[in-house]
Amino acid sequence: MNTVQRLAQALGHRFNHQELLIQALTHRSVGAANNERLEFLGDALIGFVIAEALWKRFPKADEGTLSRMRASLVKRESLARLARDLKLGEALRLGAGELRTGGHARDSILADGLEAVLGAVYFDAGFEQARTVVLTLFAARLEQTDAERAGKDPKTRLQECLQSYKRPLPDYLVLSIDGDQHDQTFTVSCQLQDADVTTRATGTSRRRAEQAAAALMLEHIQYG
């Protein structure tokens, strides 16, 4: 079984039109017949299916809370993590330049590829099957989504998560500050005190960088 067939098996969908899956896995660096149009469709598909699932799951949540929960579930890092779970990177078709620079492991390419693959499922078998595949992929994350926590920032949620396990709070360290005084970029790390795990992120302020690093750490703890 080749990598493309293994991916289809992991998705739980048998493609009637294998060429759709091949196109979905073809990065623009390969040529004009790439996955960008399928990615556009898949992005909209995931957004709607997840929005509908959250709307049904949290009947008392307001629009702002629903939007924050959806954004957390469908952001690039979350999609890339799902793509890695599927080993999607192994099946990607990349140009020589992207191959040399490790494009098969890059979050942006993995996330776009997953969107394209789900767009291909829609064209191959229709909306209901595409919805089923999306909900199956996101099932664990939907189960762990909490409307009460959706309004809290990542640092607060990380703190509460660690405290619930009786673990020490993380350390935040500014690694670098780049740019002019009026246009600075901060790079910050978030490190667990009781494990050799560190995340790092950048932001236009120290606070934003810390929040981004905390969000990455929270995902690591929750989803491994």
For the segment 17-39, what is each residue's pLDDT rounded down to a tens digit? 999 999 999 999 998 999 999 99
When divided into structural domains, the chain yields a total of 2
Backbone angles phi, psi at 172, to 5 degrees: -110, 135
| CA atoms lying within 13 Å on the CB side of residue 158 | 24
Last residue of a domain, one of 97, 118, 146: 146
Backbone angles phi, psi at 43, to 5 degrees: -60, -50
Please compute the mean of the pLDDT values over residues 127-151 and round it to a whole number. 87
| Domain around 205 | 154-223
Examine the residue annotation and report whether 153 is marked as an active-site residue of this protein.
no
Q: Which amino acid type is present at position 180?
A: D
List, in sequence order, every residue forming a beta bridge with 177; answer none if it has no partner. Answer: 186
Burial class (CB in 10 A: 0-12, 13-18, 19+), 187: middle
Using one digit for the tens of pLDDT, what is the confidence trace for 87-116? 999 999 999 888 888 888 888 999 999 999
Q: Which of 98, 115, 210, 219 is catalytic?
A: 115
Detail the residues annotated as belonging to a binding site for Mg(2+): 39, 112, 115
Q: Are residues 128 and 184 in the same domain?
A: no
Using one digit for the tens of pLDDT, what is the confidence trace for 40-49? 999 999 999 9
| CATH number for 85 | 1.10.1520.10
- The 3-state DSSP class for residue 219 equals helix
What pLDDT shows up at residue 86?
Answer: 94
Q: Are residues 71 and 178 in the same domain?
A: no
- The two tokens of residue 71 are 């954004």
Examine the residue annotation and report whether 43 is marked as an active-site residue of this protein.
yes
pLDDT higher than 90, residue 160: no
Q: Are residues 104 and 138 in the same domain?
A: yes
What pLDDT shows up at residue 77?
Answer: 84
pLDDT band at 148 (very low <50, low <70, confident <90, very high): low
| CATH number for 198 | 3.30.160.20
